[in-house]
Homo-oligomer: A and B are copies of this chain.
Amino acid sequence: MLKNVRIVLVGPIYGGNVGSACRAMANMGLSDLALVAPEPLDMEEARRMACAAQDVLNGRREFATLQEAVADCGVVAGTTARTGLYRAHAQSPHALAPHLLGAAQKGPVAVVFGRETWGLTNEELAICTHLIQIPSSPDYPSLNLAAAVLLCSYELFVASGVYEPPEELSPEACSAMRERMFAMWERLLLDIGFMEQEKALHMMLGIRRIFSRGARTEDDVNILMGIARQMDWKAAQGAGRVR
């Protein structure tokens, strides 16, 4: 699906922004870049900011008009910072991402970004089927071009489900294992005189809250049991007890 998402930059001025946009696209699994009537770009700066995304930069296509750049696209989503009569139905990139990806299953779709200076014209917005407005502070709503590309690409990437959240290596500890740990700690805390029997239930609620929030995996629980065991042994030495 992400292969069918085209990022279209209309009239970009700064090579650095185009390069940064390439890196942002590659970071989020996109590769299809179209430039519409770009100004003369500082390509050295573009290459520098593209970093390891030179393929995206080199693979860019240039078009004279927006119409040509999106001629084969189903959904065409234009980004806008301003609001107004024809911009009031704009959606957030998060809200629009599933729709864009759905359309991208059948053919190319486009996300269109305007000039660094004044965005997209009303004529260009008229070509778009949807409008995207990126959430931003009312005090300073104007995003850098590459920043806008990054946020839209990010929402598409996350919605595509390609991303797999990091896995805990150790399995989640089960309740029975946690209860063995709490039993060990309760006995230990009584033995070392940290709490008295009549306060134990109350105090153990605090301990349980801390340890339950913190120790989620078997590795975690094993560490806490190891500490209790070693402390118990040490405390027994001091008391002359034999364990």
Which residues of A are interface residues toward B (Cβ below 8 A)?
20, 23-24, 26-29, 49, 51-53, 83, 85, 87-92, 94-95, 133, 135-137, 139-144, 146-147, 150-151, 154, 157-158, 161-163, 165-169, 189, 192-194, 203, 206-207, 209-216, 219-220, 223-224, 226-227, 230-231, 234-235, 237-239
Contacts and interface: CB of A to CB of B under 8 A. Distances in A.
Contact of A219 (B140, B163, B206, B223): B206
Specify how many copies of this chain sit in the oligomer: 2
A224 B141 CA distance: 35
A213 B167 CA distance: 16
B220 A206 contact: yes
A215 B210 contact: yes
A214 to B, nearest CB: 2
B239 A210 contact: no
Between A91, A136, A168, the greatest number of chain B beta carbons within 10 A of the residue's beta carbon is seen for A136
Contacts of A194: 226-227, 230-231
Nearest to A237: B238
Contacts of A227: 189, 194
A231 to B, nearest CB: 5
A157 B137 contact: yes
Between A24, A83, A210, the greatest number of chain B beta carbons within 10 A of the residue's beta carbon is seen for A210
